[in-house]
Amino acid sequence: MTPEKRAKHDASIEAFKEMLPQPAPVDKEFIPKNLDKALGVVGVALPESKEEFNFQIERWIQRLIDRVIRYADEFKEQPAPVVPDECPAELLAFCEQVIDSRITANAKADELWNDCRDAMLNGDTFRGNSISSTNNFRGIAETSTNSQVIPDGWISCSERMPEQGAYISAVSRHGEYVAGQVIDDWLDLHDGTSFGLDEVYLWMMLPPLPAAPQKEVK
């Protein structure tokens, strides 16, 4: 193709692009405050048009309704959680398997468990980026990618994905430790946020939630 024909071809393409309808920009006054931050947590971008914005609102509201209905029983009074004083054997075994030094693994597991236990007792959400020592899981995840041994109780996502509705603990590819319920392609966390299943490296089944206490009938 000669330079003249190339220039004419490119000009016709640009002219065609200008003929295509462009999405109307979203009026900022229709976007709730901090919506961009909330959507960023789950990796969703702001809609590019008012039509898409209105469509997404319906989906978000429906998702909120589904979540409230699903967890309605959890909003009721719950008994005080029973948190073990010592690091669970499964967690300790996991650290021992993926860290070269067993002494270092014990120290990291104990430190991790202490912070995790404090978070659970205080009602906080246990996530790798919110508690300093849980950043040890970042090194665990990186080391695990070169390990041929999967600790007992843990399942690699390359081997099997968790079933829908299952409550699991999970270690992400970036070293975060999270826990929640599998809903579609997401792990719904207890703080109302979601975590993409495609980021999960290892997972372990959690026991079912205890039933709400029954009031005595007088």
Torsion (CA) 179, 183, 186, 190 in degrees, nearest 10: -40
The answer to whether residue 218 sits within a structural domain is no
Distance CA 7, CA 204 (A): 59
Same domain, 154 and 48: no
The answer to whether residue 33 sits within a structural domain is yes
CB 153 within 8 A of CB 162: no
Same domain, 113 and 15: no
From residue 156, alpha-carbon distances to 129, 141, 169 in Å are 22, 11, 12
**Residue 148 confidence (pLDDT):** 47
> For 40, how many CA atoms within 13 A lie in the half-sphere containing its CB?
4
Same domain, 127 and 194: yes
Same domain, 14 and 44: yes
In tens, the pLDDT along 90-141 reads 666 555 554 444 444 445 555 655 655 565 555 544 444 443 434 444 444 4
Parent domain of 105: 89-205
The answer to whether residue 5 sits within a structural domain is no
In tens, the pLDDT along 63-103 reads 666 666 666 666 565 566 555 666 666 666 555 554 444 44
Q: Both ends of the chain: CA-CA distance in Å?
A: 92
- What is the number of structural domains in the chain? 2
